[in-house]
């Protein structure tokens, strides 16, 4: 079964179990159904990323990932600000049902089929394990910080400035939306390493600023910088980097590892220890900053994932498009 069909089947299964969840009152049965939903959702996610890999080439993967991230986070912003606050449990479950059915509809679209099949005749990437580890370590560190220390920082900010917190959160999501597009452009035009280094540096600087900030206005810059870097890393690690490190044989495995790291660290962030032993804001900020800047070391040692002549090819392509437009205009005037 190809990846597109897997996405359709798992989305349909998720929809069915979501409907069943509405009619069940027993806690044990609900947990069982939720576990099944999680399993099918996970399989569908990996299949969707595999389909994304099959549908994109390395030189364009960043920009396409940026547009996908832009649309996803924009929809997320609408949900958390306009839809989620007015939903009860049943409404939330129905929203999940609609999203699952929406995935079936989106997955049925065919993306430039003939052109993409020709592109996938390429051999693909066969990077050594060392390269994979050099890109994996920063992702692990960022995911851990995002799930623990960053939540601790947000908790302190919400306690100190409760009236500003909703505005700061919305600013963070808006900045993340912008970050997805910025990451895609930088990754495709200047390389993956520079894009990752910039996003990690932005995250580290915003974390450091949170620890030394004394005026509430400064936290606007903190949350904008944090959101910008989060959106960039979502685009880079969620789509582009794992795709660049993949080939036909290991694509599902590479994406699975990236997703497993993210969800496992989210689980760590839910441990009671993070709520009982509250770390001071300054300590959380300093620790986040240090760990983030240390994560730049593997990136500095890692090779560039884009082909060596990718910039020349992109510039040439843009030049040819510009020339073609000029010729069309001149012919139209003639």
Three-state SS string across 26-87, please?
Answer: CHHHHHHHHHHHHHHHHHHHHHHHHHHHHCCCHHHHHHHHHHHHHHHHHHHHHHHHHHHHHC
Superfamily covering domain 3-108+126-313: MFS general substrate transporter like domains (1.20.1250.20)
Over the stretch 55-97, which tens digit does the pLDDT of each residue have?
Answer: 888 888 999 999 998 988 888 777 777 766 666 656 665 666 5
pLDDT above 60 (res 108): no
Q: Which of 99, 38, 70 is nearest to 234 (CA)?
A: 70
pLDDT band at 140 (very low <50, low <70, confident <90, very high): very high
Reported as a single tens digit per residue, the pLDDT across 250-277 is 899 999 999 999 988 887 767 665 554 5
For the chain, the structural domain boundaries read: 3-108+126-313
Mean pLDDT value of segment 134-146: 93
């Amino acid at each position: 079964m190809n990846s597109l069909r897997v996405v359709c089947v798992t989305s349909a299964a998720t929809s069915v179990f979501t409907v069943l969840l509405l009619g069940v009152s027993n806690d044990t049965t609900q947990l069982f159904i939720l576990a099944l939903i999680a399993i099918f959702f996970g399989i569908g996610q990996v299949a969707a990323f595999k389909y994304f890999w099959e549908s994109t080439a390395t030189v364009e993967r960043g920009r396409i990932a940026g547009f996908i991230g832009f649309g996803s986070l924009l929809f997320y912003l609408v949900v958390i600000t306009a839809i989620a606050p007015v939903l009860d449990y049943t409404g939330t479950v129905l929203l999940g049902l609609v999203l699952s059915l929406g995935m079936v509809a989106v997955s049925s679209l065919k993306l430039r089929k003939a052109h993409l099949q020709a592109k996938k005749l390429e051999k693909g990437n066969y990077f050594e394990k060392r390269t994979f580890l050099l890109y994996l370590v920063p992702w692990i560190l960022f995911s851990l910080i995002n799930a623990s220390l960053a939540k601790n920082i947000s908790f302190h900010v919400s306690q100190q400035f409760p009236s500003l917190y909703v505005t700061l959160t919305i600013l963070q999501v808006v900045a993340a939306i912008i970050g997805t597009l910025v990451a895609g452009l930088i990754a495709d035009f200047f390389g993956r390493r520079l894009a990752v280094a910039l996003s990690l540096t932005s995250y580290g600087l915003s974390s450091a600023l949170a620890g030394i900030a004394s005026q509430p206005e400064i936290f606007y810059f903190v949350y904008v910088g944090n959101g910008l870097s989060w959106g960039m890393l979502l685009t880079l690690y969620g789509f582009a980097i794992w795709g660049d490190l993949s080939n036909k044989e290991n694509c599902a495995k590479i994406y699975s590892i990236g997703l497993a790291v993210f969800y496992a660290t989210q689980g760590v962030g839910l441990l009671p220890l993070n709520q009982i032993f509250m770390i001071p804001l300054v300590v959380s900020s300093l620790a986040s900053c240090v760990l983030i800047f240390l994560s730049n070391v593997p990136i500095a040692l890692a090779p560039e994932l884009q082909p060596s002549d990718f910039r020349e090819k992109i510039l040439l392509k843009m030049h040819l498009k510009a020339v073609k437009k000029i010729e069309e205009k001149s012919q139209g005037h003639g």
